[in-house]
Structure 1
Amino acid sequence: MATGITAVVLCGFFAIAATYLLAAHLHPAILISAILLLVATLSTQLLHSFARQKVLSFRPPKATLIAQGFLTYGPFLFLGRAWLGMPGFLAASTLLLLPAALAWPLFAAEIVATDVIVSELGVSPADIAYTTVATILTALVVYGLSRLSELVKEVDDSRAELARLAIAQERLRFARDLHDLLGYSLSAITLKCELAYRLVPRQPDRAQEELTEILQTARQALADVRTVARGYRDMSLAVEASTAESMLSMLGVRTAVSLNCGELPTAADTVLATVLREGLTNMLRHSKAENVEITGDRIGEVVRLSITNDGVGRTGRIPATDATGSSGISNLTARVGEHGGRLSAEIREDGWFALTAEIMLPASEDTLQEQQGALA
């Protein structure tokens, strides 16, 4: 969008310049030549405005700036005042392509050169002042819009890179945990199996002891696998929400957090924190949200967590849900289901995407006593 706005503004400036040429009542041959020069200048300016973005597959050489200089000042010889709108674009390109230490002195020199040319055309001092201000404003507006669109692109790329880094870090964690937790256990199982295999014919009692140890080691390895697969035991919803708010703020996403769940059992707290982390991970991978709302409420023994964002319409696609085969959402659905709850994902009427998890908490002793009293 930023790139499109910049291109539209540039084309609008040159359209105004074209009206000046039409109003000058030039000879048809000269008018056609002037229009062609205007198109060439516009093409050069677009090249310079998007020079540092990935819109183009190459960086324009400094020679194009020299070419724009000839396109800017040369036509004054036969077009006169009808060409007064062009120096501002050359000044903007100078700021965009050259280092600041060189660009700003050249910028001032181009403004002065424009004033000299205008004075040679026999205009009044008031017109010279107007032309000077108009040239400076045109240059700064074009420079500002071009830099803004460039920065927007850089922020968008950085945001995508942060999402990729988060995924890579999780993969590294998984690989590291597998190596640290299972490497020793599997090696021990292998060695003990070989030993038991050799002891069976000669020392069956000793082989039985080794098999018992192998069974214990295998059970521990299975527990380690579950630990790695879950990876989020003893997580806190409040801590995860605070971390998410800080991370999204650094990414430029406006985040509103409202948690009114009270103190939760460890298992329920971990499940909801996992839902929050996975939901935000999917959001960063599949959408370009600018606003996120995280709300948590508790009504009796039911806890409801909702994660909503406005990023669906900006990508033209719906974030992955279990219906599309997303293993992350499918795993969350299964884990929430273990707590007697449900997970839902939908696009609301206002266009926001909502991921909602509801779980049932174990009944407290007071609740059980009230239920028993009601039955009595």
Structure 2
Amino acid sequence: MLTSEVGFLGTALSTLYLIVLLSIQILWTSRRAAELSPPLRYTALFVQACLVYLPLLQFKESWVGLPGFLAGSALVVLRPPYGWITAGLVVVSMAFTQAALSPDQIEPIVYITLSTTLTALLIYGLTWLSTLVTQLHSAREELAKMAVARERLRFARDLHDLLGYNLSAITLKSELTHRLVLKHPARAREELVEILQISRQALADVRAVASGYREMSLDEECVSARSVLAAADVHVRMDVGYRDLPVRVSTVLATVLREGITNLLRHSKAEFCEISLRQDSTTVTIVMLNDGVPDDPIDSREDGGPGGSGIHNLSARVTELGGDLVADFLPEKRFRLCATMPLSGQADQRGKGKDDDLDPPLRVVS
């Protein structure tokens, strides 16, 4: 009866030891292992060592196969070369233990040595495999977040470029229509038709931004810029000459023109604006020059003026095509916006954007 009680207690104790030992082993393969402080990691490794060696006094040969878990954990927890030295000591200690338990047999010693070594390497490999899988999932989550962030930035940038210009144009033409509605009703109706067209175009552009890449017509933007500036009583001189341009270049030039007009209307009291566009065999350049810059132009940068989000958005677009954007404050309260882009390598780039340089440096000359 006493023997049966000892056997039952031994089985219960061995089960408890195994549960705790394997729980610690599973801990090394979980995400919490990286969050543990070094003292806690060393404490867990010490507890695992106790659960490996102390039961040997009670279970003897029945327990000699488990120290491989300790050797594998040492390789995971301790830094090289300490991990390899500790694992080697565990393997050697089990060889001597088996030699003490079976002094006249060489086969069990070789078996336990190889078994402990292979178990240690297997535990080490599986633990690092689990860690790599966890890191891979974390990296994928970060990449997904970055992709979402880039898409949000693209949407915000395009929305700023679209609505800033369209709302400014609608506001100006609405004010003009209000002044003309009694004295020149026919002209007021024409302005209302243009307001309706701009509103519809703005709606279509916003939908295009939401769906992805948006193309813009440079010809239409030139006509629209002349109309909007005329409505704002700004004298316009346009000198535009270009041949067939790649779609991406034409779209970016139209965006530069639109943002330049928006900045002129929002941040200056311009009476004159000169717009020129020139193309040669390798590059195309657009230059916008206007007067009426406020006495302290630096303040206008905080809400989208030169150096604000609008110009930085343009800088990002131009830099994506390998070009350069320069914003100059000139004497006599004038402001110049110049964008130069290469033509080579752009023809087959339709719809492909690079979000790597989301906020490139901008040269602003005061």
TM-score by length of 1: 0.47
TM-score by length of 2: 0.49
